[in-house]
Amino acid sequence: MKVCVATVTRHPEDARIMHRQIRALLDAGHEVTYVAPFTHCNVTPAPELRAIDVPRAVGLHRARALRSARTALRRGARDADLLLVHDLDLLLALPRHRPPTVWDVHEDMAARMDGRTMPRLIRRLESRAERRLHLILAEKSPRFGREHPVVPNHTYVPHEVAKPPGDNRIVALGRLSETRGAADLIEVARLLSPYGIRLDLIGPADPHIRPLLRDAQRSGLLDWFGYVPNKHALRMTEGALAGLSLLHDVPAHRDSLPTKIVEYLARGVPVISTPLPRAVETINGNGVLVPFADPESVAQAVLDLKADPARRAALSVAGHADARAHYHWPDRAAEFVAHLEAWANVPSTVATHSARRAVPA
């Protein structure tokens, strides 16, 4: 099967797109054309891919990127058996003559928008896509009228924990924004600095948050590494005292699984999280819950773990075991590939190519 995979808003090394879905397709013996903003993100495409470079769609100025995307999609989908798009924006750039097309719905964009006009337009676009395309969801959502396959944001869980939790470093993975607790994280770093505990922030930040992070880094409160490719970012979490997930209680986060929690558990890092419903369900007792927007409680939870090595070790072992049993991506990869093969109407390779690959080093 020849699959054209496309994104213009996300990093080409996006963990869900590149390291899970594309890798599963390649492991199953399929050919992949990848349309993505390689130059903009300073990424060299993997040699086994047919890469098509496009500008990245950012901010309010997206017209040029969408024009380029429309041309790239026509080229990439010309001989493809299936087109898989990952952005809401690309629904506006689909070629008229195309193979069966799948939209992978990563998140609820309308829930992130203020006002009334944009959410209504997004819902209308989603409804049109549901009628005309195949959909894959990162998680179940009542906003769609029909049932669609769910391909969750699981991760590669190593067979063993590489490093036990230490006592002088905490980490926070993922995008940094106001509603993702960026200001809370900076305050936590300030509160813990006298105790010799340092915060590593691993992920890109929204534009208005960046000056705050730079100031905190210059003052020696924390280290902000910006965007780091997923496999390297996960290694950086290993051996941390705790992994923080301080998402606020807003509609965009309320019913979503925080992927960073799964990634902390997978690496044997004790989790400290705000009590969003999916976070509580995922942690399953293998972490510490703290109130929303309460840096003092977060800092105290960190200090309690620092003072109790036995509890840190127990949370690490139990969290890793739970992640291995329930959130190991290779356990779901074959199902993902089978859905695409069925929609493309090609013979299944799932029985002959195992999607259970070695965990990346």
- Residue 162 DSSP one-character state: S
pLDDT for 355 beyond 70: no
Q: 176-226: per-residue pLDDT in tens?
A: 999 999 999 999 999 999 999 999 999 999 999 999 999 999 999 999 999
Q: Answer yes or no: do 145 and 274 share one domain.
A: no
For residues 177 and 247, state if they share a domain: yes
Q: Which of the residue ranges 109-118, 139-148, 255-264, 265-274 would you say has the lowest mean pLDDT?
A: 109-118
Same domain? For 135 and 204 the reply is no
Say if residue 335 is in the same domain as residue 238.
no
Mean per-residue pLDDT, 277-299: 97
Average pLDDT over residues 331-349: 96
Here the CATH number for the domain that contains residue 127 is 3.40.50.2000
Q: For residue 35, what are its two tokens?
A: 């349309």
Q: What average pLDDT score do residues 301-322 get?
A: 98
DSSP 25: H
Q: Is residue 9 part of a domain?
A: yes
Question: Average of pLDDT values for 248-267?
Answer: 93
* 162 domain-assigned: no
Query: Across the chain, what does the average pLDDT equal?
Result: 94
Q: Which residue bears the tokens 């190593």?
A: 158
80-137 pLDDT per residue, tens: 999 999 999 999 999 999 999 999 999 887 666 665 567 888 889 999 999 999 999 9
Residues 138 and 36 in one domain: yes
Report the candidate in 262, 240, 250 with the shortest Cα–Cα distance to residue 192: 240
CA distances to 76, 100, 134, 300, 346 from 2, rounded to whole Å, are 10, 12, 17, 52, 10
**In a shared domain, residues 136 and 58:** yes
Q: Does residue 11 sit within a domain?
A: yes
Using a CB cutoff of 8 Å and minimum separation of 24, what contacts does 338-342 make?
A: 339/136, 339/149, 339/151, 340/1, 340/3, 340/25, 340/82, 340/84, 340/102, 341/1
Q: Examine the pLDDT at 167 and tell me if it is beyond 60.
A: yes
349 pLDDT more than 70? yes
The pLDDT assigned to 212 comes to 98
pLDDT of residue 356: 40
Same domain as 260, residue 242: yes
Token digits of residue 254: 């309320």
Residues 210 and 296 both lie in one domain = yes
Hey, is 5 helix, strand or coil? strand
pTM: 0.92
For residue 9, pLDDT over 90 is answered with: yes
Number of helices (H), then strands (E), in the chain: 12, 12
Q: Evaluate whether residue 160 is within a structural domain.
A: no
Q: 111 and 128: one domain?
A: yes
The dihedral sign for the CA sequence 267, 155, 236, 361: positive
Which residues have a Cβ under 8 Å from the Cβ of 321 and sit 6 or more positions away?
A: none
Residue type, 166: G
pLDDT category, 169, cuts 50, 70, 90? very high
Return d(Cα 145, Cα 125) in angstroms, integer: 14
Q: Report whether 52 contacts 23 (CB < 8 A).
A: no
Burial of 62 from C-beta contacts in 10 A (0-12 / 13-18 / 19+): middle
Summarize the confidence of residues 289-298 as an average pLDDT: 99
Please give the residue that has the higher pLDDT: either 251 or 316.
Answer: 316
Instruction: For residue 138, tell me if it sits in a domain.
Output: yes
Number of structural domains (the chain) is 2
Q: Are residues 8 and 139 in the same domain?
A: yes
Q: Which residues lie closer than 8 Å to 99 by C-beta, 6 or more apart?
A: 4, 77, 80, 81, 82, 83, 344
Q: Mark whether 256 and 150 lie in a shared domain.
A: no
- Give domain status of residue 281, yes or no: yes
The answer on 75 and 177 residing in a single domain is no
pLDDT tops 50 at residue 352: no
| Domain assignment present for 361 | no
What is the residue range of 189's domain?
Answer: 169-325
Instruction: State the pairing for strand pair 2-6/31-36.
Output: parallel
In a domain, 25, yes or no: yes
